Amino acid sequence: MARSVEPLFNPSAYPIELLGGRDIGAGYLRGCGLEFWDLYPRLENDPVFAEALGAAYARGSLLHPHKLANLYLMVRYGMRDEHGSIFEFGSYMGGSAVFMGAILKALGRNGKVYAFDTFEGMPETDPVRDLHRPGDFADAGYQQLLSYIDQQGLAPYVQPVKGLFDQTLPGMLPNIADVGLIHIDCDIYEPIKYLIDTTFPQLSRGTYVVFDDPLFSSCLGAFDAVQESVIRGFNLTAEQAYPHLVFRYPALR
């Protein structure tokens, strides 16, 4: 039975329904709204979403439009501090990063998207656990991404952080205090375990932690990392299962 999605568009309505440390009400409305109801066609008429989608397509993104829509709803309406920043791990051509940066710009937010990637393709992967191989996604076009960010006036909103996560993240951890959303889209086991175990203890405000990959048939290593570290390690239950696995940390009260 369809429920009204109106509370999703009202930041003061959050949490919509709390259970077990996550906003299960918001998770249901975003997930069912996108999968079964008419939430996506509604968003297509929203000029901020449409412009950000244009940026994602201009750079190229592997994300399904429902995933971009889900990020939009969390960034625009759900983040506890609307001026919070965003950490993205796995940016490739920068599509999802410039998408979120365009939202921050259009809304006049103070936050920034830190887009972490080698921008030279996948590092070592686990030959059994992961399907991806070293060098996948090597055609990121890093220089073109920098030019695009400059030309579109996105430099105050999107900062690429080039290199392996375990080499770049330690220097950026002081910036994590105001992070409202972490988008993990790097597909493979080891880095995802590292990112969960390194970032979670630094979070303090019910940050959205959004996993792109675990429910893909090609990313069982990503699912392993989430099961081991998020579910068994930090004892969390998911806020949402479509189109992303979304968790909140620390748990909401």
Ligand X SMILES: C[S@@+](CC[C@H](N)C(=O)[O-])C[C@H]1O[C@@H](n2cnc3c(N)ncnc32)[C@H](O)[C@@H]1O
Nearest alpha carbon to residue 79 among 248, 241, 245, 240: 248
Nearest distance from C-beta of residue 93 to ligand X, angstroms: 6
Instruction: Name the one residue in this structure whose structure tokens are 């205090």.
Output: 177
Where does this chain touch ligand X (CB under 6 A) — which range of 14-22, 75-83, 181-189, 227-235?
Answer: 181-189
Stretch that binds ligand X, among 17-25, 35-43, 60-68, 214-222 (CB under 6 A): 60-68
Closest CA to 111 of 158, 45, 145: 158
Cα-to-chain-centroid distance, residue 10: 21
When the beta carbons of 23 and 185 are compared against ligand X, the nearer one is 185
User: Which pair of tokens denotes residue 27?
Assistant: 């998770």
- Count the residues of the shown chain that bind ligand X, applying the rule CB under 6 A: 23
The span from the CA of 99 to the CA of 250, in Å, is 26
Query: Do residues 132 and 122 lie in contact, with contact meaning Cβ atoms separated by under 8 Å?
Result: yes
Shortest Å distance, C-beta 144 to ligand X: 14
117 near ligand X (CB under 6 A)? yes
Helix boundaries (H) for 24-126: 24-35, 39-44, 47-59, 65-73, 95-106
Given 26, 55, 111, 118, the residue binding ligand X (CB under 6 A): 118
Interaction between residue 63 and ligand X (CB under 6 A) = yes
The sheet carrying 85-89 orders its strands as 158-162, 113-117, 85-89, 179-184, 207-211, 245-249
Considering only residues 73 through 92, tell me which ones interact with ligand X, judged by CB under 6 A: 90-92
Kindly identify the residues of this chain, within the stretch 186-225, that bind ligand X according to CB under 6 A. Answer: 186-188, 191
For ligand X, the binding residue among 39, 102, 122, 181 (CB under 6 A) is 122
Cβ contact 99:90 at 8 Å: no
Residue closer to ligand X, measured from CB, 101 or 191: 191
Binding residue for ligand X, selected from 29, 71, 73, 140, defined by CB under 6 A: 140
Q: Does 96 bind ligand X (CB under 6 A)?
A: yes
Chain residues that interact with ligand X, rule: CB under 6 A = 61-63, 90-93, 95-96, 117-118, 121-123, 137, 140, 164-165, 185-188, 191
